[in-house]
């Protein structure tokens, strides 16, 4: 009896001692001027469990529970300042040197691409611009962004992408019905169209082994980013990267990028200008597929899911888009239908609203900034050097004051100005991030997602194999991902619409001066966001 009591008492005693000392450690290492520390039940451990279980919803839960503009979370080895207030987000984005993104990008890309020592040194050198405006990372954005802003280069890549989508869907229409798993099918379609537009006729992704390798690589990204013994914990991803790097090395060595997009050429030139070894250029290019494809694929899936699973959404969008279609005959006598994507972007408010609502609901992005030196944020909060600032988009996208009590519900008309009369503050819509790190690929991605969805829904019906669409499918997202994917794929039948007779082909055009649509507060005019 006594022995038993002791065997209980000792561990319990030790547990209490550990618990108390962890609490003291928390308090002792927390300055009163720092953002308030949340009293989580088990110091250092509760946030890890919470984030693992609830993912980004954990931040929404903590916001709803404590209602603080900014707070401190402690996990082993890190101090996190999590930001809820839109005003503080704007203040943080203005301090882009002190609250920096680039050092995080530099370290993450070295871990992910598994660069050589030479390349890693090139990447790290002056990565936050402390010694002036030079260096690989510092000048990367300005070297590459021009190829992605609305203009001739972007139009060129968009036109190539639209042509590939048209060819692929024209082919699909020749079959009576196609049975596929929806997510897997979208992934394949978007991968080929996007990468062929980016890389040109010698696109390495045309090799199915490279395509498969990319998704294997992406599946191991978390372990690669954290550099948590990846050759052991993500060995397949490491093999996929090494294999594809040699395919991309051949691509560049043969000068195939000369026939590719301005984007790929700009990236290659930037690396060569900084004396990056060819194998590292190849690694970096392959890893960049995560930016090119990682969000486009799931957002296209969610567009199709929401349009087809709700007859009223389908009807609204079809009606708007039908008015955009022009009919003509081409030289061979084939009846041609043409849809001008530039017009779609200016004249289909419900369709655009559906897209923005998808972006709002499935965004899981958490913008991170590294605190480079002690900083008083907004003259109110002390941010300590070495800590990380986090700005989770779901917190903004689920703010009841901005979006109403129905913020958890998909409302395809939500972004039509007249329907709500209200619009969120500039920091309130963050699917593409914001400030100096606002996603440069947002215009390319949007044109692609809208075009693919538009032509799908004008030509095809999609029905789930089981007869009914899954209601609010379960989602999944790794900590670094900006868009969630469906947890389970499901089978659908894709069938051409009866009235779509066979002797018609589809084409897309872009008017000569393609205009951007507003996708963030930074995209003027701000009238409808
Ligand atoms: C729907 C599709 C997309 C979504 C939702 C998306 C979202 C994002 C987000 C949330 C960020 C981080 C911003 C921050 O932390 O403040 C970002 C950054 C970035 N995105 Fe995208 N993205 C998409 C498509 C693309 C595409 C197609 C490309 C390339 C062509 C691209 C290239 C980039 C790059 C290079 C950055 C880093 C920005 C920098 O270093 O300044 N994205 N994106
Ligand atoms: C990269 O890996 C190192 C360990 O090798 C780790 O300390 C660091 O946090 C990782 N970088 C990022 C951005 O996660
Ligand atoms: C929601 O957004 C409004 C307007 O930007 C802001 O004033 C408010 O603090 C936010 N609410 C929460 C709970 O974060």
Distances (CA, A) of 92 to 63, 99, 368, 497: 18, 7, 11, 50
Element (H, E) at 118: helix 117-124
Q: Which of 284, 352, 441 to mutate to test the pocket of ligand 1 (most atoms within 8 A of CB)?
A: 441
Which residues sit in the known binding site for heme?
439
Bridge partners, 367 (sequence order)? 391
Of 131, 70, 66, the closest CA to residue 376 belongs to: 70
Q: Which stretch of DSSP H or E encloses residue 492?
A: strand 491-496
DSSP annotation of 518: P
For residue 21 the two structure tokens come to 């000392």
Compute, in degrees rounded to 10, the torsion defined by CA atoms 149, 101, 481, 291.
Answer: 30
Q: How far is CA 110 from the centre of its chain?
A: 20
Closest CA to 476 of 190, 177, 60, 52: 52
In 3D, which of 321, 457, 501, 382 has the Cα closest to residue 70? 382
Separation in Å, CA 319 to CA 114, 313, 315: 49, 10, 6
Place of tokens 């992605």: 148
List the residue whose alpha carbon is closest to atom 9 of ligand 3. 85
User: Domains (ranges, CATH) in the chain?
Assistant: 136-367+449-528 (1.10.630.10)
The atom number, within ligand 1, closest to the CA of 365 reads 10
CB 270 within 8 A of CB 147: no
Rounded distance between C-alpha atoms, residue 128 and residue 366, angstroms: 20
Strands 504-509 and 335-340: parallel
Residue 515: which of 360, 342, 269, 312 has the closest Cα? 342
Distances (CA, A) of 500 to 114, 333, 450, 517: 50, 17, 20, 30
Task: Give the ligand whose atoms come closest to the C-alpha of residue 86.
Answer: 3
pLDDT of the chain, 529 residues: tens digit per residue: 555 566 666 767 777 777 777 777 777 788 999 999 987 777 788 888 999 888 999 999 999 999 999 999 998 888 999 999 999 999 999 999 999 999 999 999 999 999 999 999 999 999 988 899 999 999 999 999 999 988 888 888 888 888 888 888 888 888 888 999 999 999 999 999 999 999 999 999 999 999 999 999 999 999 999 998 999 999 999 999 999 999 999 999 999 999 999 999 999 999 999 999 999 999 999 999 999 999 999 999 999 999 999 999 999 999 999 999 888 877 777 777 788 888 888 899 999 999 999 999 999 999 999 999 999 999 999 999 999 999 999 999 999 988 889 999 999 999 886 555 555 555 688 999 988 889 999 999 998 999 899 989 988 999 999 999 999 999 999 999 999 999 999 999 999 887 765 556 777 777 655 566 666 666 643 333 3
The C-alpha atoms of residue 145 and residue 436 are separated, in whole angstroms, by: 12
107 CB under 6 A from ligand 2?
yes
Ligand 2 atom closest to the CA of 226, numbered from 1: 14
Sign, CA dihedral 328-332-333-336, equals: negative
368 within ligand 2 shell (Cβ under 6 A): no
Q: Is the CB of 104 under 6 A from ligand 2?
A: yes
Residue 382 β-bridge partners: 376
Nearest ligand 2 atom, CA 110: 1
> In angstroms, rounded to a whole number, what is the distance separating the alpha carbons of residues 502 and 507?
15
C-alpha 364 – ligand 3 centre gap (Å): 18
Sign of CA dihedral 260, 264, 270, 273: negative
Pairing verdict, β 460-464 and 475-476: unpaired
- Which pairing describes strands 325-329 and 381-383: parallel, antiparallel, or unpaired? unpaired
Between CA 518 and CA 529 the distance in angstroms is 7
């Amino acid at each position: 009896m006594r022995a038993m009591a002791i065997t209980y008492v000792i561990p319990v005693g030790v547990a209490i001692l550990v618990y108390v000392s962890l609490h003291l450690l928390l308090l002792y290492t927390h300055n009163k001027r720092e953002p308030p520390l949340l009293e989580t039940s088990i110091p250092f451990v509760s946030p890890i469990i919470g984030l693992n279980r609830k993912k980004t919803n954990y931040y929404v839960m903590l916001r709803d529970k404590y209602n603080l503009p900014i707070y401190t979370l402690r996990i082993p080895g890190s101090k996190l300042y999590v930001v809820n207030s839109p005003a503080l987000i704007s203040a943080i984005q203005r301090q882009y040197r002190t609250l920096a993104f680039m050092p995080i990008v530099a370290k993450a890309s070295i871990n992910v691409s598994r660069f050589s020592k030479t390349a890693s040194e090139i990447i790290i050198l002056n990565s936050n611009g402390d010694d002036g405006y030079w260096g690989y990372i510092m000048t990367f954005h300005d070297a590459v962004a021009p190829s992605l802003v609305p203009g001739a280069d972007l139009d060129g890549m968009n036109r190539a992408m639209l042509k590939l989508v048209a060819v692929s869907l024209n082919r699909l229409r020749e079959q009576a019905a196609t049975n596929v798993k929806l997510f897997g099918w979208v992934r394949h379609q978007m991968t080929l169209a996007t990468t062929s537009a980016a890389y040109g006729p010698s696109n390495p992704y045309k090799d199915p082994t490279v395509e498969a390798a990319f998704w294997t690589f992406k599946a191991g990204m978390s372990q690669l980013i954290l550099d948590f013994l990846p050759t052991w914990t993500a060995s397949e991803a490491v093999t996929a990267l090494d294999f594809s790097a040699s395919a991309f090395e051949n691509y560049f060595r043969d000068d195939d990028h000369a026939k590719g997009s301005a984007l790929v050429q700009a990236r290659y030139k930037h690396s060569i200008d900084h004396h990056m070894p060819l194998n590292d250029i190849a690694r970096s290019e392959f890893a960049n597929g995560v930016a090119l494809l990682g969000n486009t694929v799931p957002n296209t899936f969610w567009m199709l899911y929401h349009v087809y699973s709700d007859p009223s959404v389908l009807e609204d969008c079809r009606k708007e888009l039908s008015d955009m279609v022009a009919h003509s005959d081409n030289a061979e006598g084939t009846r041609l239908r043409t849809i001008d994507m530039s017009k779609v972007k200016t004249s289909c408010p419900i369709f655009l609203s559906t897209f923005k609502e998808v972006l709002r609901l499935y965004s899981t992005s958490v913008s991170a900034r590294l605190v480079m030196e002690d900083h008083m944020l907004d003259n109110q909060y002390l941010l300590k050097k070495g800590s990380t600032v986090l700005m989770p988009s779901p917190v903004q996208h689920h703010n009841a004051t901005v979006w109403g009590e129905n913020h958890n519900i998909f409302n395809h008309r939500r972004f039509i100005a007249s329907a709500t009369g209200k619009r969120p503050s500039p920091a309130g819509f963050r699917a593409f991030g914001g400030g100096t790190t606002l996603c440069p690929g947002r215009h390319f991605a949007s044109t692609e997602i809208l075009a693919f969805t538009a032509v799908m829904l004008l030509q095809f019906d999609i029905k789930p194999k089981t007869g009914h669409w899954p209601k609010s499918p379960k989602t999944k997202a790794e900590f670094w991902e900006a868009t969630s994917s469906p947890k389970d794929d499901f089978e659908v039948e894709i069938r051409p619409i009866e009235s779509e007779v066979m002797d018609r082909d589809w084409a897309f055009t872009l008017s000569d001066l393609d205009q951007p649509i507003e996708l963030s507060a930074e995209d003027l005019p701000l009238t409808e966001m």
